[in-house]
Amino acid sequence: MFKLSSEAAIDGIISVENKFIVEYMPYADGDYVKVYLYGLSLAARKADPDDTTERLARRLDLDPATVAAAFEYWEDRGLMTKLGDDITYLSTRTARPKIKKFDVDKYAEFNRLAQLSVSGRQIAPNEYHEYYALMEKFGMEWQAMALIVRYCVNLKGDNVACQYILAVARNLAEDGYRSQSDVENRLEEYGVYYNDLCAVMNAFGSGKRPDHEAVKLYKKWKLTYKFAPDVILKVAETIKRGGLAALDTKLTTYFELGLMTYDKIDGYETERHDLYKLAKSVNKTLGVYYENVDPEISSYIKPYLDMGFESGAIIAAADYCMKNGLKTLPDLDTVVRKFFAKSALTEKQVKAEISAENKYDGAIEKVLAAVGIMGAVNASHRAYYSKWARDWNMPQDVIEYAASLGAGKTLSYLNAILSAWHDGGVTTVEQAKAKNTAYKEVAATSPSDNTVVERYTADELNAMFTVFTDDE
């Protein structure tokens, strides 16, 4: 039982007469019905920005020629009038179809054969009228139309819709198949594909019989794309949902990529699955989520693998980033390329680099404790320490002495002290103490608050992977 809700009954409703639905809609092309209904809603809304043929076509994703043909179709049936750009909808009760007289004798045999094919129901006069109109429009022989009716009944049964028969006939006519011999040869060709297509549809669990559109798709895969039947069948077996549309999407993708054998297709899908799995593992490790990882794969994951990185190495790099507060893909990219520069491409090599870097975390922790900075050692801390210990050759005891002077301050403050000592040639604690005057000058111009502010600079990121040797 069908009924309108109370809200729908009073809000934004357009009136579509039952006579249109029962007597006109079943025989009309689906796109023509879309045009009729959308146009009717525009007529009801008035002054709508879509109220032009061009905008209507774009909104319905139809070409303007189809929209124009739809208007002509409904005008012929007396449901609207068109004067210039103005289209007026008429009531089905007062519709005056354009009189089209057909030669009754000319189509008498067609009528007989069509009714013999559709033995389970009586063909209505309106349905015959649609067949006559299509044959007249395209110049199709009645014998060809009779073959199409029989073909559609064989596919769909006695209850096959007039709309389906008209769609098949229209497709054939538009492709240039209009004579009895041409249509007969074409339908025989479809019969050959039909059997193969049954196996394909069974492969992905469809219980339906192939129809005309399905056969057209199969022909495209086999003749245009030139896929072997066994390849089409094997790909069909991988379809979990989506049916023929999903299969068409896959085969079109493989065709565009030049993957014509199943071995190449299987290799591509295996690699694609592995790439998706790796991308999601990297994101999980970083603590981020992207609904669509395709851009990430093309810009980051695939290039890393092409550079020679193992999957485990990339995940290890992501883990390093997460532990050091670097949680974006550009951060990961900087880290991965640092490992690449050090020829660390395997998981073992990457972890060795990280271990070497962490070797001095104990010394860094002492400095942080002296300054009063709480928390784990991170990349910024290591960058500072690398500058002091490696670039400036400051001994650990000198760094710790500077930290005691900078207690309660920031690493920037400590860096200022050590920079002054470096410029003054200080290499021992004794020399540092002797430079007390220089220290006071620095202290007088440095921040005195206890706020800890740490920022990453390009130099700091570049110093993140400094590896100290035992000699250093």
| Tokens, residue 331 | 């951060």
DSSP string for 319-337: HHHHHTT--SHHHHHHHHH
Alpha-carbon span 136 to 379, nearest angstrom: 80
pLDDT of residue 467: 41
Four-residue CA torsion sign, 370, 371, 373, 377? negative
pLDDT of residue 82: 82
Alpha-carbon span 141 to 468, nearest angstrom: 89
The residues with which 88 forms a beta bridge, in sequence order, are 81
pLDDT of residue 50: 59
pLDDT of residue 81: 86
Alpha-carbon span 464 to 460, nearest angstrom: 6
Report the chain's C-alpha Rg in angstroms.
38
Burial track 295-304 (b if 16+ CB lie within 10 A, e otherwise): ebbeebbeeb
Has this prediction a pTM greater than 0.75?
no
pLDDT of residue 10: 45
Nearest residue to 472 (alpha-carbon basis) of 395, 363, 377: 395
Q: Can you tell me whether residue 88 is helix, strand or coil?
A: strand
H/E run at residue 407: none
pLDDT of residue 330: 94
Per-residue pLDDT of the chain (472 residues; tens, 9 = 90+): 444 444 444 456 678 888 888 878 887 888 889 998 988 888 877 666 656 778 888 888 888 888 888 888 888 888 888 887 788 888 888 777 765 677 778 899 999 999 999 988 899 888 898 899 899 888 999 999 999 999 889 878 888 888 889 888 988 898 899 999 999 988 887 777 877 888 899 998 887 777 778 888 998 999 899 999 999 999 999 998 889 999 999 999 999 989 999 999 999 999 999 999 999 999 999 999 998 898 999 899 999 999 999 999 999 999 999 988 888 999 999 999 999 998 999 999 999 988 877 777 888 888 888 888 887 777 788 888 888 988 898 899 989 888 888 888 888 888 988 898 888 898 898 888 887 555 555 555 555 444 444 444 444 444 444 444 444 4
Residues contacting residue 37 through CB under 8 Å, at least 6 positions apart: 16
pLDDT of residue 158: 84
